[in-house]
Amino acid sequence: MKKKLIILYFMGGLVLLSSCSDNLELQNPSKVTTGSFWQTPEDLESGLATVYNVLVDNNNAGYWEIQAMQLKENRTENFVARNDVPGRYAVSSYKNTPSTSETTGMYKAMYIGIFRANQVINYAPQIKNIDETKRAQIVAEATFLRGLNYFNLVNEFGSVPIFTDLVKESADYFKEKSTEEEVWKQIIADFQAAATSPLPEIYPSALKGRVTKNTAIAYLGKSYLYLKDWAKAEEQFSKLVNNESANGFGLLDDYAQLFDGKHENSKESVFEIQFSRQGGATIWGGNPSERTRATTMAQELAPGEVGGWFELLPTKVLLDAMTKEKTVDNNFDPRALATLAWNYPGSTYYNSDFASKFGANAIWIRKNQNWWNNDEGDWKSELNEYAMRYADVLLMLAEAKTMQGKVAEAIPLVKRIRDRAKLATITMTGWNQTQMMDEIMHQRNVEFAREGIHWYDLRRWGTLEKVIKESQVGGYLNYSAKYNFFPIPESELNNNPKMTQNANW
């Protein structure tokens, strides 16, 4: 199932992956168009592959690779960073600066993705001997991915420059920031274009993982949700939920199956980031064509006792949240058992008794770890990462309805999440908006822990400061509102005379 899509990802690396220099401010990504490229359908597919590739670029901080993934979690009350991984620890303890390398890499990776998407969109019309529907689909995928990069940029850095055309001269790199409102307008336009394109609603199994029309609809709804346009968010999510079976969506019966490596690209996947052991032997540096499509994620988060680098550590605050409710059989919430490893009766982790090997008071990550093996000695993990799951769509629709006062309509949506977890039945009939939102907030926290969503939820709900301060986790005393967004990288300020720093930085 995964093979053909990974080949799509990888083939782009052979042609274009090195075309965009890490030093975005100094080199023109359009140089790849010299000579004979952008002539054939294969060229266009290869160009599109490089837009996907940047999402998992380990040299920069690709948004679903190890550096960015940790930054999405280690600012919350749920995780802290290991204190001798300087950049990530600085972010985790609210001491990062405009020179922090991980946030600089994240910023660069997103703009590399944008420049590559613009290449595909610009050169697609000149490709010969290609089916017109296929051409339109590739353009739609690139347009969605451009919008996704802007979605991530505005959520990490706030107002940023917008590029929608090819950058042909070095002077064209130097743009002023657009306002957040303008960036969101571009995001909406890109997602709308993909959502109304000839993209299929569902791909055949061999191509699962590529952007579909339904992916675009889901992200369009998420964008409206973040903008608090509840009615438009409801409209988009309802397109997916009201036609769930036809759209190929649903919840897996067993939550743990989502992360066991055997049920990837399932009916619960809205957009899934692909990893595989295909490709070369290296992941850091070197020729892009020699890089593996695997990830170091599992090894970097695993305990030292099993060859891990323990760079992201779950907190007691998260464990308490995940064990707040028991199932109807008086067992732990299966989401807790699938997300965390800790000392409970019969607990095993990496085929060892938990307390004996890791300590009676330890808490480790189980989700997206190869914990069924003896160790993480082989750093190549091929477990996919979820960018969005269908459970997220259900809870976002519930939130959009609740915020419009349609609390009763949110009940069956939230109930599906609770029922999958086999939690005891609670009476939600008669709840007011505040009560339902409290439940949605809790369910989102335990459902998506370690999936890089919680920080952004807290911020948009206006509860970030309260949660961080009350948790007393890590560097909570250093927190202030300026850390809600990352600063513009120092290197960008130095190279772009039109760039200005974010407020309070």
In this prediction the pTM is 0.94
- 455 token code pair: 């920080």
Residue range(s) of every CATH 1.25.40.390 domain in the chain = 3-293
Q: What pLDDT is stored for residue 28 in this prediction?
A: 54
Pairing of strands 340-342, 363-365: antiparallel
Q: What are the structure tokens assigned to 294, written together?
A: 């695997």
Specify the DSSP class assigned to residue 381: B
CATH number of 3-293: 1.25.40.390
Contact 400, 233 (CB under 8 A): yes
**How far is CA 325 from its chain centroid?**
27
- Tell me: the pLDDT tens digits for 327-362? 999 999 999 999 999 999 999 999 999 999 999 999
DSSP character string of 236-271: HHHHHHTTTTTTT----S-GGGGGSSSSTT-TTEEE
298: closest CA among 233, 186, 218, 384?
384
Query: Taking the mean position of all CA atoms in its chain, how far away is CA 417?
Result: 21
Query: Which residue from 137, 22, 27, 102 is spatially nearest to 312, judged by alpha carbons?
Result: 102
To the nearest 10 degrees (0 to 180), the angle between helices 213-226 and 132-157 is 30
* pLDDT computed for residue 405 by the predictor: 99
CA 142 to chain centre: 17
DSSP codes of every residue in 177-236: PPPHHHHHHHHHHHHHHHHTSS--SS--GGGBTB--HHHHHHHHHHHHHHTT-HHHHHHH
How deeply is 343 buried, as exposed, middle or buried, from its count of CB atoms within 10 A (0-12, 13-18, 19+)? middle
Nearest CA to 358 out of 369, 347, 368 is that of 347
- 420-448 pLDDT, tens digit each: 999 999 999 999 999 999 999 999 999 99
What's the CA angle centered on 466, arms 410 and 332, to 5 degrees? 55
Percentages (nearest 5) of helix, strand, coil residues in the chain: 50, 10, 40
Write out 318-344 in H/E/C secondary structure: HHHHHCCCEECCCCECHHHHHHEEECC
How confident is the model at residue 176, as a pLDDT? Answer: 98
CA gap 149, 311 in Å, rounded: 25
- pLDDT of the residue at 22: 40
The SS3 call for residue 26 is: coil
Where the chain has pLDDT below 70, the residues are: 1-35, 284-286, 288
Say if residues 33 and 116 touch (Cβ distance below 8 Å): no
Compute the residue count for the chain: 505
Residue with tokens 């597919």: 45
